[in-house]
């Protein structure tokens, strides 16, 4: 009932298009409000998601950036001229394309970036001129409601944004079945995402899904830099990022040197209360996630993996940062997405072996390589089958203007305001006989 009423409201709103300059103005104002209320909003994220305050602050700054880039896109979104006299059939005609909003967007977002991943749905939708019905993750609705409040304060007319908090499958069902919803933008786990797409073959279904993020450390890499970046990025937000570093592949002859640097850095991470400024690693999202992660660690050790550090609960939902050695791609901790503070270590002889290992799961969101060799970096960039490859940076890196998204089971689209506005627009060609 409520979801259908929200779609009704979105439909009424879209009858009267909002001009691009108004859309851009609203987006700029929201970026400004996020800046003014920065620390307060970071605290909301920390409290609802259990995300350490340091990382929550970064998320707020990134959401500002997402709104700012979307405002730019709103102002420059335009079609193109078609060179009609390039064929005999077109001679004597002028043609150009108009970019029209695709229609109502049904957005579904996950708990792990409750503000910025919602921003990646709302801001480009508005930039493209689309009204939205949003279902945020049940665990983290507050940041989404806060964004809705900021958009309203910034002058968004009624009906353009409708947030519905409630049972996922019911709301998902209505969004899938109602023909007025022309696009579904989903960020979350792979199985849920692909099922949604199967059920909505006539809609645009944009999927941003999971990963089992690999990184290759070549023998010629700067090991201090690699160890530092990978220690932080394997465990920030307790590994609950879609591109949390999960599989580290070390060239054999530097494996020991790397581990001597890496383990102390992992053990130095501060595990604890996410609302404390010093905390690096907070709790996982709920008891079910904790139990699943511990079971996966147990399964791996039963299959021969060794625990190099961590592997147990500190307290409540706080799992100690865990490093596993002696692993293989058959183990869930490698093959699937752990979504917890666990990283695996394996070694290899040649770069091509490492690339095979990195490519060896059903996922393809981001991967990384550390090397001082340009040819090795470029070979990896060409052969790693992922939506993104980082060189001398952890594969956990993302800036909001990047085209971000996956191949294989990791998704079918690229998010980033410039890319999303295109996905949410339809080209209409206009032909004029001269
Ligand atoms: P999730 O369980 O798939 O939930 C994501 C969203 O989908 C939530 O709003 C959830 O609602 C909703 N949902 C669940 N079942 C549904 C159904 N049958 N129909 C429609 N909607 C449904 O994922 P999560 O645990 O929140 O997030 C973790 C996952 O997201 C990981 O796999 C991670 O890799 C992925 N992720 C991907 C990206 C990316 O950009 N590629 C970014 C972040 C996270 P409820 O909360 O009410 O269940």
DSSP string, 319-331: EPPEEEES--TTS
Structure-block tokens of residue 24: 């851009």
Partners of 133 in the beta sheet?
Answer: 106, 162
Question: Measured in angstroms, how far is the CA atom of residue 417 from the centroid of ligand 1?
Answer: 20
The CA radius of gyration of the chain, in Å to the nearest whole number, is: 23
The confidence score (pLDDT) of residue 119 equals 98
Q: Is 130 a catalytic residue?
A: no
343, 281 in Cβ contact below 8 A? no
Partners of 363 in the beta sheet?
Answer: 408
Q: What is the distance between the alpha carbons of residues 365 and 389, in angstroms, rounded to a whole number? A: 9
Nearest atom in ligand 1 to 135's CA: 9
User: Could you tell me the pLDDT band of residue 349, with boundaries at 50, 70 and 90?
Assistant: very high
Q: What is the distance between the alpha carbons of residues 340 and 241, in angstroms, rounded to a whole number? A: 9
- Indicate if ligand 1 lies below 6 Å from the C-beta of 87: no
Quick one: CA dihedral 185, 190, 196, 202, positive or negative?
positive
The confidence score (pLDDT) of residue 307 equals 98
Taking residue 334's Cβ as centre, other Cβ atoms within 10 Å add up to 22
The confidence score (pLDDT) of residue 125 equals 98
Please enumerate in sequence order all residues whose Cβ is within 8 A of that of 23, keeping only pairs 6 or more positions apart, or say none: 71, 74, 126, 127, 129
Q: Please work out, in degrees rounded to the nearest 5, the angle formed at the alpha carbon of residue 400 by the alpha carbons of 415 and 369.
A: 90
Q: Please work out, in degrees rounded to the nearest 5, the angle formed at the alpha carbon of residue 37 by the alpha carbons of 31 and 43.
A: 120
Choose the catalytic residue: 48, 208, 337, 415.
208
410, 399 in Cβ contact below 8 A? no
Q: What values do phi and psi take at 72, rounded to 5?
A: -60, -45
Pairing of β 181-187 and β 104-108: parallel
Residue of 49, 50, 110 with the most ligand 1 atoms within 8 Å of its CB, for mutation: 110
The confidence score (pLDDT) of residue 373 equals 98
Question: Measured in angstroms, how far is the CA atom of residue 27 from the centroid of ligand 1?
Answer: 25
Task: Report the chain's terminal Cα–Cα distance, integer Å.
Answer: 51
Helix (H) or strand (E) holding 52, with range, is none
- Indicate if ligand 1 lies below 6 Å from the C-beta of 109: yes
Q: What is the distance between the alpha carbons of residues 350 and 371, in angstroms, rounded to a whole number? A: 13
Q: Is 334 a catalytic residue?
A: no
Question: Measured in angstroms, how far is the CA atom of residue 168 from the centroid of ligand 1?
Answer: 9
The confidence score (pLDDT) of residue 19 equals 98
DSSP 377: H
The confidence score (pLDDT) of residue 78 equals 96
- Average pLDDT (177-199) is 97
- Indicate if ligand 1 lies below 6 Å from the C-beta of 387: no
Ligand 1 atom 14: residue of nearest CA:
168
User: Could you tell me the pLDDT band of residue 299, with boundaries at 50, 70 and 90?
Assistant: very high
Nearest atom in ligand 1 to 111's CA: 26
User: Could you tell me the pLDDT band of residue 274, with boundaries at 50, 70 and 90?
Assistant: very high
- Indicate if ligand 1 lies below 6 Å from the C-beta of 59: no
Q: Which of 177, 148, 171 is nearest to 160 (CA)?
A: 148
Ligand 1 atom 39: residue of nearest CA:
208
The confidence score (pLDDT) of residue 25 equals 98
**Using DSSP, how many helices (H) and how many strands (E) does the chain show?**
15, 19
User: Could you tell me the pLDDT band of residue 143, with boundaries at 50, 70 and 90?
Assistant: very high
User: Could you tell me the pLDDT band of residue 403, with boundaries at 50, 70 and 90?
Assistant: very high
pTM: 0.97
Ligand 1 atom 43: residue of nearest CA:
242
- Indicate if ligand 1 lies below 6 Å from the C-beta of 191: no
398, 386 in Cβ contact below 8 A? no
Residue of 55, 168, 388, 423 with the most ligand 1 atoms within 8 Å of its CB, for mutation: 168
Question: Measured in angstroms, how far is the CA atom of residue 161 from the centroid of ligand 1?
Answer: 20
The confidence score (pLDDT) of residue 322 equals 98
Ligand 1 atom 15: residue of nearest CA:
168
User: Could you tell me the pLDDT band of residue 262, with boundaries at 50, 70 and 90?
Assistant: very high
- Average pLDDT (58-64) is 98
User: Could you tell me the pLDDT band of residue 357, with boundaries at 50, 70 and 90?
Assistant: very high
The confidence score (pLDDT) of residue 97 equals 98
User: Could you tell me the pLDDT band of residue 122, with boundaries at 50, 70 and 90?
Assistant: very high
What percent of the chain clears pLDDT 70, i.e. is strictly above it?
100
The confidence score (pLDDT) of residue 230 equals 98
Structure-block tokens of residue 291: 């139990």
The confidence score (pLDDT) of residue 294 equals 98
User: Could you tell me the pLDDT band of residue 393, with boundaries at 50, 70 and 90?
Assistant: very high
Q: What is the distance between the alpha carbons of residues 278 and 337, in angstroms, rounded to a whole number? A: 27
């Amino acid at each position: 009932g409520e979801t259908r009423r929200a779609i009704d409201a979105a439909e009424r709103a879209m009858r009267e298009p909002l001009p691009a300059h108004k859309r851009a103005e609203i987006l700029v104002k929201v970026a400004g409000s996020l800046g003014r209320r920065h620390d307060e909003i970071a605290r909301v994220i920390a409290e609802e998601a259990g995300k350490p305050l340091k990382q929550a602050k970064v998320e707020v700054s990134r959401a500002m950036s997402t709104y700012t880039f979307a405002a730019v896109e709103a102002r420059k979104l335009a079609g193109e001229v078609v060179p009609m006299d390039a064929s005999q059939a077109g001679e004597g005609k002028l043609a150009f394309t108009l970019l029209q909003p695709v229609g109502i967007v049904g957005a579904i977002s996950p708990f792990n970036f409750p503000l910025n991943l919602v921003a990646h749905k709302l801001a480009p939708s508005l930039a493209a001129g689309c009204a939205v019905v949003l279902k945020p993750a049940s665990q983290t609705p507050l940041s989404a409601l806060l964004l809705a409040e900021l958009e309203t304060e910034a002058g968004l007319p009624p009906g353009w944004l409708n947030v519905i908090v409630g049972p996922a499958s019911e709301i998902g069902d209505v969004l899938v079945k109602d023909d007025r919803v022309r696009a579904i933008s989903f960020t979350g786990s792979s199985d849920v995402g692909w099922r949604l797409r199967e059920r909505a073959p006539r809609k645009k279904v944009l999927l941003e899904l999971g990963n089992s993020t690999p990184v290759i450390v070549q023998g010629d890499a700067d090991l201090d830099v690699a160890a530092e970046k990978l220690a932080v990025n394997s465990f920030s937000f307790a590994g609950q990022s879609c591109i949390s570093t999960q599989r580290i592949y070390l060239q054999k002859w530097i494996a020991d040197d790397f581990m001597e640097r890496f383990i102390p850095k992992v053990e130095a991470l501060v595990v604890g209360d996410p609302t404390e400024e010093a905390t690096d690693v907070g709790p996982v999202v709920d008891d079910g996630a904790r139990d699943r992660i511990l079971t996966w660690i147990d399964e791996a050790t039963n299959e021969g993996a060794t625990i190099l550090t961590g592997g147990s609960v500190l307290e409540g939902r706080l799992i100690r940062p865990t490093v596993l050695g002696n692993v293989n791609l058959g183990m869930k901790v490698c093959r699937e997405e752990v979504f917890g503070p666990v990283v695996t270590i394996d070694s290899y002889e040649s770069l091509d072996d490492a690339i095979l290992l990195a490519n060896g799961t059903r996922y393809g969101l981001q991967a990384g390589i550390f090397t001082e060799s340009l040819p090795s970096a470029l070979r990896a960039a060409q052969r790693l089958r992922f939506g993104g490859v980082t060189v001398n940076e952890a594969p956990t890196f993302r800036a909001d203007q990047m085209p971000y998204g996956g191949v294989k089971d990791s998704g079918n689209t690229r998010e980033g305001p410039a890319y999303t506005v295109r996905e949410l627009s339809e080209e209409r060609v206009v032909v004029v006989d001269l």
